[in-house]
Amino acid sequence: MRNTKKLITWMIWLLAFILIVFLLTRCNAKDNKTVKIVYVSKVLDDNNAFWFSLIEGTEIAAKEYGVELTILAPDSESDYEKQNDMIANAIALKPDAILLSPADNEKTLPAAKKIKEAGIKLILIDSQMAEPIEDALIATDNIEAGKKVGQLVNHLIKENSKIAVVSHVQGTSTAIAREVGLRIALGEDEKRIVDVVFSDSEYDKAYQVTKELLQVHPDVDIIAGLNEYSAIGAARAVRDLKLTDSIKLIGFDSSVEEIQLLESGVFDGIVVQKAFNMGYIGLETAIKILRGEEVATNIDSGSNIVRKDDIYTEENQKLLFPFR
């Protein structure tokens, strides 16, 4: 019967169609493009626990999310020109997103704008720029961190205390905000600050400027370092000048040396940023933005005060000694 044949052919076509659809869906499931992200950091320095942890955070996040991550960074934190070149390089790699820790508030801006012009998502980590062109910012609330430094300083203030501040790179958002926070926390005692010097995020320079500062202001008995380089450099200077008994220091961020200095009592206390978290959340945020999820545009990764006696509390040892 012709009708019967027609029905049977129809059924066979249906069967073939189902098989083809099945095979196609199988093939499509495996076709997934990997996301490419570049992180342009401020500095590549294995001695610096902050940047090391931050980069480690991005790397672990990249592994978690199966992202291809490239890390570019100059050798010095203050080398914004080198960083600008690296931003250009990063754009040339045509990534889906660029994570950036801008070296300078103003001078990084033109290079960063090119990222946006290239249609690449821009996520800032650690530092801001003069114009908020980024898709998201993940940083320590540096005013809050500065206030915590201020709290620690407040413990040390005696009647005739004089305070010196060793900051890192003049003009960076972090330096500005931390100093602002510090001054807010000090309140009335703000006038005790005799000088603010800049280390340009180099141990030697920090050491140098601290020595010079102590010659100019021998009455300073409290020194606040506003990042790891500045704090360590200042501490080394105080130690070498054998002034550890008369001058108390407040440190910022952590490294083995800084912890030893804290254990030994050179630092009275330190404020530690959650660098690992910053890096991890930074990359995570980039991925969420690329996936089109709603994200907070300004994420505070947080900071903690650690004093000599509570280095080895469960919480602080996790914070100070990244598990590797």
Partner 1 sequence: MTRKQGNLLFRFKSIRSTMIFFFTMIIAVALIVFLIISIRYTQENIMENSKYYTMQLIEQVNGDIDSYMDYMENISRLISKNKDVIDYLYDETATKEELDQIKTRVISQFQTISDARDDIYNIAVLSDNGRNVINDGKDQLNPYADIKQSEWYVKARQSNGIAVLSSSHVQNAIKDDYKWVVTLSCGIQNPNTGTIEGVLFVDLNYSAINNLCEGISMGSKGYVFIIDSQGRIVYHPRQTLLYSGLKSEKVEEALNGKQTNFTTVEGENSKLYTVYTSEKTGWTVVGVAYLSELMTGREETQLAYLITALFLIIISGIIAIILSSEISKPLKELANSMKAVQEGHFEHAEIEILEQNEIGMLSNSFNIMTQKIKELMEQIVREQRAKRKSELKALQSQINPHFLYNTLDSIIWMSESGKNQEVVLMTSSLAKLLRQSISNEDEIVSIYSEIGYTKSYLTIQKMRYKNKLEFEIDIKEDILNESIVKLVLQPLVENAIYHGIKYKEDGKGFIRIMGERVENDIVICIEDNGKGMDKEALNHIFDKKENKKSGGVGVNNVNNRLKLYYGSRYGLRFRSQVDVGTMVEVRIPVSSEEDSHYEKY
Contact residues: partner 1, CB under 8 A: 1, 4, 7-8, 11-12, 14-15, 18-19, 22, 56-57, 60, 64, 256, 259-260, 263-265, 274, 276-277, 280-281, 311-312, 314, 317-318, 320-324
Strand order in the sheet with 303-307: 193-198, 163-167, 222-225, 248-252, 267-273, 303-307
Residue 89 CB partners (closer than 8 Å, separation 6+): 72
112 alpha carbon, distance to own chain's centre:
17
- Largest Cα separation within the chain, whole Å, is 113
CA distance 207 to 237: 5
Which residues, including other chains, have CB under 8 Å from residue 11's CB and lie 6 or more apart? none
Distance CA 17, CA 68 (A): 38
- Residues pairing with 306 in the sheet: 270
Token code pair at residue 131: 């114009």
- Residue 302 CB, shortest distance to partner 1, in Å, is 9
Q: Which distant-in-sequence residues (6+ apart) come within 8 Å of 298 by Cβ?
A: 136, 137
First to last CA, the chain: 77
Smallest distance from partner 1 to CB 104, Å: 28
At its nearest, how many Å lie between partner 1 and the CB of residue 11? 5
**CB nearer partner 1, residue 168 or residue 274:** 274
CB of residue 295 vs partner 1: minimum separation in angstroms?
A: 15
Name the residue nearer to partner 1 (CB basis): 153 or 283: 283
CA atoms within 13 A on the CB side of 273: 33
Smaller CB separation from partner 1, 203 or 267: 267
- 19 vs 216, which CB is nearer to partner 1? 19
Shortest distance, CB of residue 81 to partner 1, whole angstroms?
33
Query: Between 46 and 314, whose beta carbon lies closer to partner 1?
Result: 314
* Residue 115 to residue 258: CA distance in whole angstroms: 36
With tokens 């010659």, the residue in question is 215
Task: Provide the 8-state DSSP code for 107.
Answer: T
Smallest gap from residue 281 Cβ to partner 1 (A): 7
Q: Taking the complex as a whole, how short is the minimal distance between the CB of residue 235 and partner 1, in angstroms? A: 14
Nearer to partner 1, 15 or 88 (CB): 15
Token code pair at residue 224: 């606040």
User: What is the closest distance, in whole angstroms, from the C-beta atom of residue 291 to partner 1 in the complex?
Assistant: 14
